[in-house]
């Protein structure tokens, strides 16, 4: 019992991923006047990547995928406008809550997701209220080891990483019990 209480109290100090949420197309319409939700799904997919964060290259890839998605649905003008807005937003002094890696908190910088973070993301994706298609797209595009193209599994963890993972799982479970 003391160990469980220690682990739960340790959660306050562990890096914790907040549940996924989306504000759709931050500071931008989700579609045209005639089709108001035309590219909404593009924005949800983009928000999913921004929630989890990762490397600078992954951010650029995500922004380009958003541009292509909007272009496919509404044309090049809208795709370019969306892309330029997102890229300019990175430079803006007015910051949205939906910044890169926001699911991990305010101090997350560009960094490759480690194995335990990937497991945490996959666990929280199970409860996210978005389509399975979005979840699978995200996992296949962003949570696959690019060198070997093999999904990370728990068997690859060192004992230290397994301990860290156990603490994260306890944190998630303690939040769901409350």
Q: Which residue has the tokens 């997102």?
A: 86
3-state SS, 86-136, equals HHHHCCCCCCCCCCCCHHHCCCCCCCCCCHHHHHHHHHHHCCCCCCHHHHH
* Confidence (pLDDT) at 163: 56
Question: Buried b vs exposed e over 75-90: b needs ≥16 C-beta within 10 Å?
Answer: eeebbeebbeebeebe
pTM comes to 0.71
* pLDDT number for residue 173: 53
Where does residue 81 fall: left (phi above 0), alpha (psi -120 to 50 degrees), or beta otherwise? alpha
Three-state secondary-structure class, residue 19: coil
For residues 162 and 149, what is the distance between their CA atoms, to the nearest angstrom? 22
Residues paired with 144 in a beta bridge: 151
- C-alpha to C-alpha distances, 66 to 39, 92, 144, nearest whole angstrom: 9, 19, 20
Residue 101: CB atoms within 10 A of its CB come to 21
What integer pLDDT is reported at residue 155 of this predicted model?
42
Angle at 18 (CA atoms; ends 13, 24), nearest 5 degrees: 155
Retrieve residue 33's tokens: 């006047």
Averages of pLDDT over each 10 residues, the chain, 178 residues: 43 67 87 93 93 92 95 96 89 73 83 89 89 89 56 44 57 53
pLDDT of res. 165: 55
């Amino acid at each position: 019992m003391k160990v469980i209480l220690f682990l739960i109290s340790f959660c306050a100090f562990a890096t914790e991923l907040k549940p996924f949420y989306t504000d759709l197309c931050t500071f931008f319409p989700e579609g045209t006047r005639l089709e108001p939700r035309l590219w909404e799904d593009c924005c949800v997919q983009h928000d999913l990547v921004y929630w989890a964060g990762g490397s600078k290259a992954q951010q650029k890839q995500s922004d380009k995928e958003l541009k292509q998605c909007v272009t496919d649905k509404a044309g090049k003008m809208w795709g370019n406008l969306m892309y330029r807005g997102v890229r300019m937003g990175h430079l803006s002094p007015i910051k949205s809550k939906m910044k890169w890696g926001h699911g991990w908190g305010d101090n997350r910088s560009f960094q490759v997701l480690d194995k335990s973070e990937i497991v945490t993301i996959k666990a929280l994706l199970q409860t996210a209220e978005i389509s399975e298609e979005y979840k699978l797209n995200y996992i296949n595009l962003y949570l696959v080891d690019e060198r070997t193209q093999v999904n990370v599994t728990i068997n690859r963890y060192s004992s230290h990483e397994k301990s860290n993972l156990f603490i994260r799982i306890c944190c998630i479970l303690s939040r769901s019990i409350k």
